[in-house]
Amino acid sequence: MRQESHAKERLLDRIREDRLVTRRDYLRLLVTVSGGLLAGTAAVASGVFRRHGEGATESRKVANDVAVGESFTFSYPGEDDPAIGVRLDDGSLVAYSSVCTHLACAVLWIKASGELECPCHDGLFDVRTGEVLAGPPPRPLPRIELEERPDGIYALAVTR
């Protein structure tokens, strides 16, 4: 009888041990999470996340001409870097990455309002500066420097 009770007690102990997590286990888990966050930040710093315009080293012709108030789309510096250019009312040219800084939807030129709009979440950008005017985008649009030459419009570089 006594032997049976002892065996039962041992079984209960084993079940309890399997289920319980000690304070030290919690502490070890938290330190592991801390190391993971450090690794994540190191990955960010090492350039795992690609930024628009990285590797832009040379100028490229992106359009022949564009009328006042009209827009044109192009890719710069790579084929996977969509951009949008606009000829403003005063005749100046501006261009930005057309990838919204919120969730990467395409940014469109709305001629009626004179703003760049991301239709996915109603993000609005100032067409003269690329700054966020409204909506959830956290950062301005990367700006693409343009130059007008006799034979067309050239993209020169990407600035943030």
Partner 1 sequence: MNQWHGRRDPSGSARDHPDVAASLNARIAVVALIIVCQLWALTAALDAWLGGDTGAVWWLLGFQVLAFVSAVVISRAAPRS
Interface with partner 1 by CB under 8 A: which residues?
A: 13, 16-17, 20, 22-28, 30-31, 33-35, 37-38, 40-42, 44-45, 49, 51, 101, 138-139, 142, 160
Structure tokens at 152: 């067309």
Complex with partner 1: residue 128 or 160, whichever CB lies closer: 160
Complex with partner 1: residue 20 or 112, whichever CB lies closer: 20
Complex with partner 1: residue 25 or 65, whichever CB lies closer: 25
Instruction: Select from 160, 158, 159 the least CA-distant residue to 59.
Output: 158
Least Å distance between CB 77 and partner 1?
A: 15
Least Å distance between CB 45 and partner 1?
A: 5
Least Å distance between CB 33 and partner 1?
A: 6
C-beta atoms surrounding 59 within 10 Å: 16
> CA 19, CA 2: separation in Å to the nearest integer?
26
> CA 141, CA 126: separation in Å to the nearest integer?
9
Q: Are 102 and 118 in contact (CB under 8 A)?
A: yes
Least Å distance between CB 50 and partner 1?
A: 10
Complex with partner 1: residue 30 or 88, whichever CB lies closer: 30
> CA 140, CA 33: separation in Å to the nearest integer?
32
Cβ contacts of residue 1 below 8 Å, gap of 6+? none
Least Å distance between CB 81 and partner 1?
A: 14
Complex with partner 1: residue 114 or 140, whichever CB lies closer: 140
In terms of DSSP H, where are the helices of the chain?
Answer: 2-19, 23-45
